A and B are shown apart, each in its own frame.
Chain A
Amino acid sequence: MIKLDQLLTLLNNQSDSLLVINFWATWCKPCAEEMQEFLRVEQEFENEKIKFIYLSLDFKRDFETKLKPFAEKRKMQSDVLLLDEPDYDAWINMVEPTWQGSIPATLILTPKAENRNFHEGQLSYIELKKLITTYLP
C-alpha cells in the first residue's frame, strides 16, 4: 500500500529503467482484460530495462479480500501496489493534467522522467508493445 508522497517519488523515476505504471482496479472489467495483455508483454520484455507497476485504485478494505487473491491467481511478479488516497481530485492532475479519471490508464516514464506518455483507456497487446518500443532506450 502506498500514499501520495510515494507515488510522487515514483513519478520522478529515479531508476535507469523504463517505468510503466498501469492504473487499474479489480472491479474494473476492461482493466482485467488489459492485464492479461500487459502480463504477456511484460514477459516478452523481461530481459530489457523496464519495470512494470500495477497501481491499484481498489478501496483499502478490499486489499486482502480482492486485490491479493487477484494478484496471486495471475501470479503477478511485478509490483502490485494499492494507492490509498481516496481524495482523487487532490492527485489526479499531479499524475497527468489531461486525465479525466477513468481507468484503465497507463503512464510510461523514461529514466529520470525525461519523457512521458499517458494513455487513458484500454491498451491492446500491440498498442502497448508499440509504445514500449518507442520509449525503450
Chain B
Amino acid sequence: MKKLSFLLTMAVCLFLLSFSSDKKGYQIGDTIADFNLKNTKGELVSLNSYKDARGFIIVFTCNHCPFSVAYEDRIIALQDKYKAKGFPVVAINSNDKDVVPEDSFEEMIKRAAEKKFNFDYLYDSSQEIAQKFGAARTPHVFIVEKQKSDLKLKYIGAIDDNTDQPEAVTKKYVENAVNDILAGKEVATPTTKAIGCTIKWRK
C-alpha cells in the first residue's frame, strides 16, 4: 500500500512538473522554432519567408479583447516604424473560436480589413505556437533577433506602460527593446508584465 501511494505521489509530481514546464514556454536567450501559419489573405507564412528581416516583433493578440483593441493603432505604428529597420510585426491570434466566436479566422479577416492592418495577422488554430512561446494573455509581445540562421528571443512582455491612454505612456518597452537591439546593445529591460485577457484555450 505504501509503495502504491508513493508511486502515485511520484506520478502526480511528474504530471505537475510536465504541466508547469509546458506552460512556461521560451525564455530570454532561447532559440525559437519557425512556424507556418495562415495570414488573413489565406497565405501560409513562416518567419523564414521574410527575407530582409533582422528580427521580429511577434504579438499574440486577438479581435475581441478590449486590451488588444486598445493597442491596435500602436501595433500598426510599430510596423510603420520598424519594418523598414528590419523588425516587422507579426501578429498571431491563438484563441479558440469555439470559446470566443469573435476570434474566428473569418472575423480576423474582417478586423484586418476594417483596421487596414499593415502586418501579417496569423491564425494559430491549433494553439501550438502560443503554447510553445508560453503566451498567456493578449496582447503579449515576443521580440526575436536573427543571429546567423537562429532566431533568439530578446524580449517578452508588454508594449508600453499605459494601455488606456497612449498619450500618457512614459515607457515604450517594445520600442526601447528593438532600439537596443538595433544599437547592438543588450536589451535593458528584457521582460515586463501587463494585465490582459487570458488566451482562450480549447476546452
Contacts and interface: CB of A to CB of B under 8 A. Distances in A.
A29 B103 CA distance: 14
A94 to B, nearest CB: 11
A100 B137 contact: yes
Q: Choose among B162, B173, B196 the residue with the greatest number of A CB atoms under 10 Å from its CB.
A: B196
Given A30-B198, A100-B136, A121-B198, A86 B158 contact: no
B13 interface: no
Interface residues of B, number: 24
B132 interface: no
B158 A88 contact: yes
Contacts of B193: 88-89, 92-93, 99-101
B149 interface: no
A102 interface: yes
A59 interface: yes
A interface bracket (residues with beta carbon within 8 Å of B): 20 to 34
A103 B198 CA distance: 6
Contacts, number: 65
B113 to A, nearest CB: 24
A120 B196 CA distance: 12
B127 interface: no
B158 A102 contact: no
A30 to B, nearest CB: 7
Contacts of A59: 163-164
A87 B158 CA distance: 10
Contact of B171 (A25, A87, A93): A87
B194 A101 contact: yes
Nearest to B192: A89
A61 interface: yes
Interface of A: 25, 27-30, 57, 59-61, 86-90, 92-93, 99-103, 120-121
20 contacts: A27-B66, A61-B164, A86-B161, A86-B162, A86-B163, A86-B164, A87-B162, A89-B161, A89-B193, A89-B194, A92-B195, A99-B193, A100-B140, A101-B137, A101-B193, A102-B136, A102-B196, A103-B195, A120-B136, A120-B198
Given A87-B161, A102-B198, 13 more contacts: A30-B198, A59-B163, A60-B164, A88-B194, A88-B195, A92-B194, A100-B140, A101-B136, A101-B196, A102-B136, A102-B199, A103-B195, A120-B198
